[in-house]
Structure 1
Amino acid sequence: MTEKSIKVFSKDKKEPLGDLYGLFFEDLNHAADGGLYAELVQNRSFEFDPIDRSDYHALTAWEKVERGEAEVTISVEDSFPLHENNPNYLTLKTKKVGDGAGILNTGFNSGIPLKKDEFYHFSFFARVDQAEKKTLTISLESKEGVLHASEELSLHSSEWKKYSLTLQCKSDDQSARLILTTNQTGTIYMDMVSLFPAKTFMDRENGLRSDIAQILADLKPKFMRFPGGCLVHDGSLDERARDSMYRWKNTIGDTEKRPSRRNNWKYNQTLGLGYYEYFLFCEDIGAKPIPVLPAGYDPHHHRIVPLENLQPWIDDALDLIEFANGNVSTTWGKIRSELGHPEPFGLEYLGIGNEEVGEPFFERYEYFHRAIKEKHPDIKLINSSGPFAAGGEYDRGWDSAKKNQSDLVDEHYYQSPEWFLAHYHRYDDFKRDEPKVFLGEYASWGNTYYNAIAEAAFMTGLEKNAHAVGLACYAPMLCNVDYINWEPNLIYFNNHQVFGTANYYVQKLFMHHQGDYTLKTESTGLSASEPPSIPTIGGQIKLIGEQSKAEYYKITLTNLETGEVKECPNALVENGIELLLGELHSKHYRLSFKARKLEGTRGFKVMFGEKDNQKLFWEIGGWQNQDSVISSMVNGRGSVLTQSLFTVKNDQEYSLDLEIKGRKITTYIDDEVINETVDKLPNIKPLYYSASIDSLTNEVIIKVVNVKDEAVLTTIDLQDYAKDKLKGTVYELSGYELTDVNSFEAPDKISPKQKDFEASNSFYEYEFPKQSITVFRFQ
């Protein structure tokens, strides 16, 4: 056998893996409207508004149709609405018919995607003036006016009435238009103009785009977290406000009664994809639903529900549990049944809050926790630990979870691939008798093959620490390439294509081959060798001007190894300026200065340890002027190492100190420690691996990740294996450049290869290719 080996004890079960891997859904990057939600009409209820995005208006995505001598006027009114939650409607006045008079909708992306011979369901609400009857032609046309489908409707009611028909398309077109024209003069009022492909996922009404839904279903996730994300709590406390926090009761029932909402990612959210549809989708793909609710606190704008007014928010959470799990005799169970689902959805998990920072949330969380556990003790409650992997607010979240005995704590972090490799052992010392980790959002910065390998290595660490990690989901999940708010993402799509990234195929491998229990393992020759010396955080030190103007004075650089002190001149630093203070390569040094912010939306920023492709930052009063953050940058990809709350006031003097000792970083504000962290470097192992057993098939699963630029020959040795021969299947990602990515042109460029194998005894020698991900299933 080789010097290196992985020994797996197939009968020695350790920790249950439970619902470990799942999905995260948030409506950003037009993930819902223009994405997973199959509606093809953009701004179907004429409710777009500048509050959603500055260039939006009630006729966004709509245009007049005036062909030949036709003459029309279009306007949006609200005096006689279809429903008070959607007050706007279109008034079409035709003065001259010409060769075509009416309106058209441009859809999302390049236009409305059509497939030859497929059917499309059109519907809308309309009314006409008394004693008038109108004929309206519903057409699908190319940008150039080529007719793909056309049908007529007769309008006859002076009250709002729903009309519908089905169109069959004659040809393919990814840039079509929906066109509504009349051959009569007069006035037509219309609202909720809708076009759905007949083939939605599972053929559901008001359903989902089948190709996007299918690529998600193909992952076989254990759960799906929804509806976000920052949109959960970013908004007004008034549930009737256009920019309200996400309130689940606004998202169920007839779509024409659901209010339009400002999405905090700066577009409109129709809420056509609402809580009922989320529950149905989870059921359709076999994923447990994990809804997340606001707790009456918006940390972005510091909107806070007074404690004496908190009960309605708690009632919303209790009502949601009843909506999901109550029988038809309960108030909300009956509503669910009337929507078409008399059977309960079987809700097990509920999240309260998202990426929360600040004492007001954790004060309110206790009220939610107590009320929910009193009435529904079996519901697993998920607390929050903020948007970063460490620091004051992270610790506050964990303290709250331990105090309240939360079932899980929602951790979020987006970091460099190097950070993920350096923190492979992150959860080794977490205790099994404390709340479990729900890694609710994580990703390395990028969708290259290198990112996927780094994440896979980290995920083997999640499995090895199943005693501490209960749930994990990559984020964000979906991105429409024409409406990008955030990158990286798991899946990209346009209006007619979809592909999974390299990261997607890693998630798919780990979801398909999760197993039920971890197995005991032992290895030989696979420990990471310690580097001969740990590099110091040495290099250039600069003051950075970013969205602020500040004066710096009494600046000193002290080499604490030699005692040498350098005094730097006073400086005024404005946005866009980088001021070099000096360069140090000592194992122990300190930067001290005083600073005063004069103007701007941020505070102070220091760059240090800048050399080669690495640098670190200390930001005081950074994003939204509410943090003191230490972050690192490797090859242009950042990682927040630690964070604490801090706001910089204008015209106030601050005494600031940054101390570096080895790779430990400590910051002080007015002589008080504000940040303390260690910038860990990756200590690459020959192989990263985990082992589990699938109880249903009785198969042993071994995942092995080779990050190195060389193949590793290793023996897989199955102990307690009953058969004389090893048989099974191997799935492998290998042979790619680290910079390779998937694309619309090559959607499966990076995807696993599969082959069967057989060995003559209970051990199997295998050469793991360089930079590869390998999964074995032993029969």
Structure 2
Amino acid sequence: MPRNRKRLAGVAAVLVSLPLAAAPPVSASPVEPDYTITVGPAADGARLSRQQYGVFFEDINYAADGGLYAELVRNRSFEFDATDATGFTGLTAWTPSGSATVVNDDRRLNDRNRNYLKLTGSVTNAGYNSGIALKKGERYDFSIWARGTATVQVDVTGARPITIGVSGDSWRKYTGVVKAGATTDKGRLTVSTAGALSLDEISLFPHDTYKGRANGLREDLAEKIAALHPGFVRFPGGCLVNTGSMSSYDAASNYPRARAYQWKDTVGPVETRATNKNFWGYNQSYGLGYYEYFQFSEDIGAMPLPVLPALVTGCGQNKATVDEALLQRHIQDALDLIEFANGPVTSTWGKLRAQMGHPKPFGLTTVAVGNEENLPEEYWANFVKFEAAIKAKHPGFTVVSNSGPDDQGATFDNLWAKNKAHGTDMVDEHYYNSPAWFLQNNARYDSYDRNGPKVFLGEYASLDAKFANSLAEAAYMTGLERNADVVKMASYAPLLANIDNVQWKPDMIWFDNDESWGSTSYQMQKLFMNNVGDRVVPSAVSGGRVVQPKPITGAIGLSTWRTAATYDDVKVTRPDGTTIFSDDFGDGNADGWTPVQNRGAWTVIGGGYAQTTTDTEDTMVKAATITDTDYDYTLKATKQAGAEGFLVAFGIQDTGNFYWWNLGGWNNTQGAVEKGITSAKEQILTKPNTVTTGQTYDLKISVRGTKVTLYLDGQEWGSFDDNAVTEPFAQVVTTDAKTGELIVKVVNAQDTPATTTIDLGGRKVASTAKMTVLAGDPGEQNTRTAEPILPVTSTIKGVSSSFTREFPANSVTFLRIRTR
């Protein structure tokens, strides 16, 4: 995921639910339609694969520990520390009574499990969210590793205590079963000792995990994912994969924190898996590891698709590893992963898979190398080495490359050119954009080379969590299906979010410690995934309304991102030179400027307007609402210190809705024009760029309606025209050979109903059809307390080879029509 979007957080309040009216009948008399859908006579469009849609799991928003991974004890092995997050310690989530000391010495459980607890007295664990969730009458499996001689008493809220005798000076695992006496989401686990003991890996698991797997998954979350019927599972990330140190294990370093995700850290017995700093700001136990990912994929009938680090970091870090020996070790790790998944039980890694409980191969066929790398030359040099090694040993494997962090720009163009010339199997594209972008780009893949690499749309979402976003995504998905000969796989992202620990929004499935609910986009994805079909039937739509673009007007702004900078000689003029606004700060004040979010420290210094902090993100101030459609915005900018460069905003409509020219972004490696939507950013234009500290730059933003040209020190830096037409009506038709049905999928993402004639190309069809509709207020969200956007299925009558029906405002409708 691109770095600039990780700042999203929170869940909006519940909105008023609009009741879904009864489905309007098929029109019995001629009606002048708003739209006409004409379906071709033959099902000779693109073939749709079992992997057309899937899911992308990343350990973000506490998606693994405290989420999909069913372990109820937080910090079970006392490994948390300040490297993970400020304030974390070995006793985070634990409350001691008596003598409790976290120790790291040569008597630890093993070299990977560094810390253990010396205890005389008791410790109580608070679990995740409000506490440990328990259900009356259900069993919970307790286990602990201990050393010493004493009695351990285990108390779980509402349950009868259990007692375990510990003896011996060597580490041993002890187990017991607890039966909950009451239902609660605020439970606690207390472990008490009658004498001095050394303890580690204190665990409490629901006995009933998904499919009854040991070390398994939380049932409600796994079932919600399974209900999607995904064709693949992409894991384990994301930014999680290609951030942090790429170094290998060195016993002397005692497993350094903040290492890139490496699959070998995550397999074998859980007590031997090294915990690690998570890129998203917490600790990850690796209890949910590669074996569990493979097992879950198999359990839900999905293709596993692991993502491996390419030794080039992304997500704002933008560093490349040049250690050839380390590169070769990671390439060997990739080959070893394939052996772990597919190798015979007589092989080194196949034997470990069998020891973990799965002697049968998992049937891995596809791996991805890298994720959103923004250093195309360095990434490509490494990717081709990975690909060559994998193909040499496994010729039939699909090796997935990528095109960087965005839907366009210099990195995107560079990597796509390289992949196309090379003949790469598949290219992973990622983008998070506004609802308008998705409604404007339904035809994005129409022009892609049919003979070039195939597309894996590994991460995409509309930037918010309202039903309007889901409608825009649905409209876009009709274009993905229409181009299924190019777009072979697609997955919305991210998959999961713990409501109390959010680093990213929107997300598909939300949860706390005992409940879970699907967002409106979950309901939309589920509708599409369960009604894919097997082949596209060519169809066309005519008539209807489009939304024309508006000129770029609004306030101007200045901002910084972890950077101190000074701005001066700010001026806005009309094309004839008439001044609309001017401020050279010569009077010693900045009266015309107001803070947008009260961040940073702005002051007039030496005749310039300076933001002086270097640890604050997005310090925007604004001035002068511009109503002219044609104007020039000029200023001088000087970086004083810090990580990045300048953020010069224009077209500010309200908080979160604006454009800005980002120079020296992404740790001073890239420039871009970004469009703010609510509290996120959509990139319109990107190119490599750095800003020199102490150098003064002349900047000019020339706006002519919807067209913008940017000048850096008098030279044109770039331009764009934000003039795309928004099309709120979309459709696609597919067949389901197994059921003999046409599946007509119609998206009406506008506030008025759409009367539509559907011409089925002379086909003889049944007079009734099954109809499923998602509809409602575009501002609605599904939340913990209310899910107003849910599918409604009914049977409609009056269907024929040509019929007219009214599709509700702000709706998605799936018609399954049986052919004769």
Aligned equivalent of 2:151: 135
* Conservation of the 8 A alpha-carbon contact between 1:237 and 1:303: no
Pair 1:699 & 2:741 matched: yes
Q: 1:312 aligns with which of 313, 322, 329?
A: 329
What whole-Å deviation, never above 9, does each CA across 1:24-63 have from its counterpart, x for those lacking one?
Answer: 1110110000000000111111111110111101111112
CA distance in 2, matches of 1:407, 1:658: 41
Pair 1:728 & 2:760 matched: no
Deviation of 1:585 (Å): 2.4
The one-letter code of the counterpart of 2:133 is P
CA distance in 2, matches of 1:602, 1:445: 24
Aligned equivalent of 1:98: none
What whole-Å deviation, never above 9, does each CA across 1:343-380 have from its counterpart, x for those lacking one?
Answer: 22122221111111013222211211222223223222
Aligned equivalent of 1:97: none
* Conservation of the 8 A alpha-carbon contact between 1:546 and 1:574: no
- Which of 411-420 and 257-266 deviates more? 411-420
Deviation of 1:225 (Å): 0.7
* Conservation of the 8 A alpha-carbon contact between 1:21 and 1:221: yes
- Which of 602-611 and 502-511 deviates more? 602-611
Q: 1:669 aligns with which of 704, 712, 720?
A: 712
What SS is found at the alignment partner of 2:196?
Answer: strand
Q: 1:737 to 1:166 in 2, by over 3 A?
A: same
Unaligned runs of 5+ residues in structure 1 are 66-70, 94-100, 142-146
- Which of 435-444 and 648-657 deviates more? 648-657
- Which of 710-719 and 256-265 deviates more? 710-719
Deviation of 1:761 (Å): 3.2
TM-score using structure 1 length: 0.91
**What is the 5 A alignment of 1:222-371?**
222-240=231-249, 241-299=256-314, 300-306=316-322, 308-309=324-325, 310-358=327-375, 359-371=377-389
Aligned equivalent of 2:788: 749
CA distance in 1, matches of 2:289, 2:381: 29
Q: 1:11 aligns with which of 42, 47, 58?
A: 42
Q: 1:122 to 1:766 in 2, by over 3 A?
A: same
**What is the 5 A alignment of 1:154-165?**
154-165=165-176
Aligned equivalent of 1:168: 179
CA distance in 1, matches of 2:188, 2:272: 26
Q: 1:768 aligns with which of 799, 804, 807?
A: 807
The one-letter code of the counterpart of 2:813 is T
CA distance in 1, matches of 2:560, 2:722: 24
* Conservation of the 8 A alpha-carbon contact between 2:567 and 2:610: no
Aligned equivalent of 1:714: 756
CA distance in 2, matches of 1:393, 1:672: 22
What SS is found at the alignment partner of 2:244?
Answer: coil
CA distance in 1, matches of 2:710, 2:396: 43
CA distance in 2, matches of 1:691, 1:367: 41
What SS is found at the alignment partner of 1:381?
Answer: strand
Q: 1:573 aligns with which of 605, 609, 614?
A: 609
CA distance in 2, matches of 1:375, 1:545: 49
Q: 1:753 to 1:569 in 2, by over 3 A?
A: closer
What SS is found at the alignment partner of 2:45?
Answer: strand
* Conservation of the 8 A alpha-carbon contact between 2:156 and 2:189: yes
CA distance in 1, matches of 2:542, 2:114: 70
CA distance in 1, matches of 2:747, 2:87: 47
What whole-Å deviation, never above 9, does each CA across 1:753-779 have from its counterpart, x for those lacking one?
Answer: 001223363233221011111011112
CA RMSD across the alignment: 2.3
Pair 1:738 & 2:778 matched: yes
**What is the 5 A alignment of 1:40-439?**
40-65=72-97, 71-93=98-120, 101-128=121-148, 133-141=149-157, 147-182=158-193, 184=194, 186-240=195-249, 241-299=256-314, 300-306=316-322, 308-309=324-325, 310-358=327-375, 359-439=377-457
Q: 1:268 to 1:547 in 2, by over 3 A?
A: closer
What whole-Å deviation, never above 9, does each CA across 1:48-81 have from its counterpart, x for those lacking one?
Answer: 111011110111111224xxxxx44444343301
What whole-Å deviation, never above 9, does each CA across 1:552-575 have from its counterpart, x for those lacking one?
Answer: 456665644x46578945452333
Q: 1:585 to 1:149 in 2, by over 3 A?
A: same
TM-score using structure 2 length: 0.87
CA distance in 2, matches of 1:45, 1:52: 14
CA distance in 1, matches of 2:649, 2:703: 13
Aligned equivalent of 2:590: none
CA distance in 1, matches of 2:744, 2:680: 31
CA distance in 2, matches of 1:125, 1:384: 43
What whole-Å deviation, never above 9, does each CA across 1:513-561 have from its counterpart, x for those lacking one?
Answer: 11111111133424x4574xx533234433335543333456665644x
What SS is found at the alignment partner of 1:11?
Answer: coil
**What is the 5 A alignment of 1:594-609?**
594-609=636-651
CA distance in 2, matches of 1:251, 1:158: 28
CA distance in 1, matches of 2:367, 2:718: 32
Deviation of 1:109 (Å): 1.1
What whole-Å deviation, never above 9, does each CA across 1:243-289 have from its counterpart, x for those lacking one?
Answer: 11100011111111100100011110000000010000001011111
Aligned equivalent of 1:583: 626
What whole-Å deviation, never above 9, does each CA across 1:482-521 have from its counterpart, x for those lacking one?
Answer: 1111111111100000000111000000000111111111
Deviation of 1:661 (Å): 4.2
The one-letter code of the counterpart of 1:717 is D
**What is the 5 A alignment of 1:549-560?**
549-553=564-568, 557=572, 559-560=574-575
The one-letter code of the counterpart of 2:403 is S
Unaligned runs of 5+ residues in structure 2 are 1-29, 250-255, 586-607, 612-618
Deviation of 1:664 (Å): 3.1
What whole-Å deviation, never above 9, does each CA across 1:208-241 have from its counterpart, x for those lacking one?
Answer: 0001100110111111111011110111122332
What whole-Å deviation, never above 9, does each CA across 1:155-206 have from its counterpart, x for those lacking one?
Answer: 1121111111111111111111111123x3x311111111100000000000
What SS is found at the alignment partner of 1:224?
Answer: strand
* Conservation of the 8 A alpha-carbon contact between 2:119 and 2:198: yes
* Conservation of the 8 A alpha-carbon contact between 1:705 and 1:774: yes
Q: 1:44 to 1:545 in 2, by over 3 A?
A: closer
* Conservation of the 8 A alpha-carbon contact between 1:64 and 1:74: no
The one-letter code of the counterpart of 2:222 is A
CA distance in 1, matches of 2:703, 2:760: 47
Q: 2:478 aligns with which of 437, 456, 460?
A: 460
What SS is found at the alignment partner of 1:148?
Answer: coil
Q: 1:137 to 1:530 in 2, by over 3 A?
A: closer
Deviation of 1:590 (Å): 4.0
What SS is found at the alignment partner of 1:304?
Answer: coil
**Bigger relative contact order, structure 1 or 2, given CA contacts below 8 A and separation 6+?**
2
* Conservation of the 8 A alpha-carbon contact between 1:597 and 1:651: yes
Q: 1:426 to 1:673 in 2, by over 3 A?
A: farther
Q: 1:659 aligns with which of 681, 702, 712?
A: 702
- Which of 73-82 and 725-734 deviates more? 73-82
What SS is found at the alignment partner of 2:161?
Answer: strand
Pair 1:616 & 2:627 matched: no
* Conservation of the 8 A alpha-carbon contact between 1:476 and 1:489: yes
* Conservation of the 8 A alpha-carbon contact between 1:307 and 1:364: no
Deviation of 1:87 (Å): 1.7
The one-letter code of the counterpart of 2:191 is L
What SS is found at the alignment partner of 2:229?
Answer: coil
Deviation of 1:115 (Å): 0.6
- Which of 651-660 and 641-650 deviates more? 651-660
* Conservation of the 8 A alpha-carbon contact between 1:557 and 1:565: yes
